[in-house]
Amino acid sequence: MKIAIIGTGNLGLSIAHGILSSNGATSMYLTKRSPGSIKELEKYGMVTVTTDNREAVQKSDILIFAVQPGQIEGILENTRDLLTEKHVIISTITGFSIDRIEKIIGKDQHIIRSMPNTAISVGKSMTCICCNEKGKKRIDLAKAIFNRMGHSIEISEEKMQAATVICASGIAFWMRLIRATTQGAIQLGFDAKEAQELAMYTCNGAAELLIESGSHPEEEIDRVTTPKGCTIQGLNEMEHQGLSSSLIRGMMASYEKISHIGKN
Ligand SMILES: NC(=O)C1=CN([C@@H]2O[C@H](COP(=O)(O)OP(=O)(O)OC[C@H]3O[C@@H](n4cnc5c(N)ncnc54)[C@H](OP(=O)(O)O)[C@@H]3O)[C@@H](O)[C@H]2O)C=CC1
Ligand SMILES: O=C(O)[C@@H]1CCC=N1
């Protein structure tokens, strides 16, 4: 598989690391305006780092666009004449609809809109995808690419903004929760390193428990909350302070913002 990542910044680089560690490509073009910081990736013989988007498009089949929303239009306009039947265009751009992509490069292209997250660098991204009419022929290929680096589901395009909040911004939300748990653990006597270890692995265990068992979270909570015990005491205090409510309200605020990014 010949893959190009157009825009190797925070997300693009995470995808590049995910592809490298899953042996997901035979050749990989990474583009960036100032490529110095990622030039060392050329130590992997199959990687080419360049500023030249046109060369990357010509030499690759799968094109993953990971630039900022305000940068995508110009890049598509500058490369559209090079697009052929072999290309699969995968956009990760927040708020940039398939319709807008089609208006620039035409409907007769395999277009996949995706929303991965930065955990793709360690093969653990939750990635949501959707496609245009022609992209239906390549959606299984796109799923296979993302499934090598985590878990993917196909959703309708109208849910893409919500998926961005839940899965892409979600990484930051969960990080803050892990950080807060770490701070609590330090206050309870662990040094910072141990505290983070306790927080991370407990978080990981909670998620794995749900994934493996298929249980509802409250079912698992019931197993932990001993009557009159310390867990329910702590949990109820967190809820009195608005734990669930603050998370939900934060997600709604994020969604409100993303709707504006989409419009502009
Ligand atoms: N960060 C995240 O967790 C997620 C981001 N997204 C979406 O992915 C996209 C990228 O986000 P993010 O990685 O955070 O952004 P960054 O700003 O970190 O990365 C954008 C990259 O695009 C490069 N770039 C800009 N213009 C060009 C150009 N003309 N040719 C080649 N490369 C170019 C920049 O290069 P240079 O640095 O040299 O200027 C930069 O490396 C956004 O649309 C975002 O909404 C989606 C899901 C998660
Ligand atoms: O914060 C943002 O706007 C982008 C989209 C999701 C993750 N980063």
Q: Residue 263: pLDDT above 70?
A: no
Instruction: Give 261's pLDDT tier (boundaries 50, 70, 90).
Output: confident
Average of per-residue pLDDT across 107-112:
98
**CATH code of 43's domain:** 3.40.50.720
Interface predicted TM-score (ipTM) of this complex, two decimals: 0.98
Residue 262 scores a pLDDT above 90: no
Do 30 and 96 belong together in one domain? yes
pLDDT given for residue 259 in this prediction = 82
Shared domain for 119 and 94, answered yes or no, is yes
In the structure, which protein residues have their CB atom closer than 6 angstroms to any atom of ligand 2? Answer: 94, 164, 168-169
Give how many domains the chain has, as a whole number.
2
Q: Are 9 and 66 in contact (CB under 8 A)?
A: yes
- Give the domain range for residue 250: 164-263
Question: In the numeric block, which tokens belong to residue 11?
Answer: 């997300």
Task: For residues 113 and 194, state if they share a domain.
Answer: no
Q: What is the pLDDT of residue 114?
A: 98
pLDDT of residue 222: 98
Beta-strand relationship, 88-91 and 110-115:
parallel
Sign of the Cα pseudo-torsion (250, 254, 259, 263, in order): positive
| DSSP reduced 3-state for 257 | helix
User: What mean pLDDT do residues 122-127 have?
Assistant: 97
- Express as a percent the part of the chain with pLDDT over 70: 99
Is 141 a known ligand-binding residue?
Answer: no
pLDDT score, position 66: 98
How confident is the prediction for the chain on average, in pLDDT? Answer: 96
Distance 215 CA to ligand 2 centre (A): 30
State yes or no: pLDDT of 213 exceeds 80: yes
How far, in Å, is the centroid of ligand 1 from the Cα of 15? Answer: 12
pLDDT greater than 60 at residue 170: yes
Specify whether 46 is located in the same domain as 150: yes
Q: Which atom of ligand 1 is nearest to the CA of 116?
A: 47
Is residue 66 annotated as involved in ligand binding?
yes
> How far apart are alpha carbons 125 and 62 in whole angstroms?
19
Q: Are residues 27 and 144 in the same domain?
A: yes
- Looking at the predicted structure, is the pLDDT value of residue 264 above 70? no
User: Whose structure tokens read 């499934």?
Assistant: 147
Q: Do 257 and 171 share a structural domain?
A: yes
Q: Is the pLDDT of residue 238 over 60?
A: yes
Burial degree of 182 (CB within 10 A; 0-12, 13-18, 19+): buried
- Answer whether 147's CB lies under 8 Å from 120's CB: no
18-61 pLDDT per residue, tens: 999 999 999 999 999 999 999 999 999 999 999 999 999 999 99
Residues whose beta carbon lies within 6 Å of some atom of ligand 1 = 6-12, 31-34, 53, 66-69, 71, 75, 92-94, 115, 117-118, 168
On whether 68 is known to bind a ligand per the annotation, the reply is: yes
